[in-house]
Structure 1
């Protein structure tokens, strides 16, 4: 009976993807500019929060550091990759940076220090309990709060920086 399981899994994935951000009221309350809605490019700073699209259904996030992006890969490896590698095998052709309304990236020294300290660690990857958004929030806050979706990361960012988030294209 693998076919019913396949359709159940596909349905669950479609529901999760459908909840991306266009219909999410919470997202609209904390994000002023969605990824791709503005063409004003911003130069990244160390510790900046970045994201890209994944097959037009999900988002992948990481931390900018010295021309590279620190990310939690799906196999659990925390690594630094080039912007081109960050985008490889994903649908997005653009990296976006979380900024304030005057195009200044949200970046803190402690964020990149926390990210650097974790490079080459393995973290038991789980799409729900320990994903890239969870990793990014751990680097920013030092807390191990469960962050499953991109909308949750944006809510936490907005609360931390006390501003709406504006996702601007990355100039690299």
Structure 2
């Protein structure tokens, strides 16, 4: 059975992938991954902004029968993309991403099973339209884990096209 501990460990292990990108050239880091798409910098800023938003704004509200209204995702995404292109360095963006995910995982580890499976309403919906399951912390984080993997695939394809091979290390 896939446990909450498994979920949190898998969610936090995305940091191993993030760390592996410290070695790529800064020009590639800030280059759009495809026509009309974000750069790796913008993608990681986007994920980092969401990690912070979840930890600070959404997670504290996720309780049984809560009615939660989330920020419009485009608003947060635009802020994240703008920040990524503001002159912040690759090193700082990656460090911020690592720290935000670690902080969020730490807060998640303090939740018990009952909290993880408490059902709530999000943006007027009791059932997540993507998974078909009720909104719970467990399902919400699982959705973001899918989201991480989606972006990881995009980045991997881009880097492969550029002839860059990543080495993901077991230690952070």
Same fold (TM over 0.5): no
Structure whose alpha-carbon radius of gyration is higher: 2
Please report the TM-score for the alignment, with normalisation by the length of structure 1: 0.29
Larger strand percent = 1
Larger helix percent = 2
Please report the TM-score for the alignment, with normalisation by the length of structure 2: 0.29
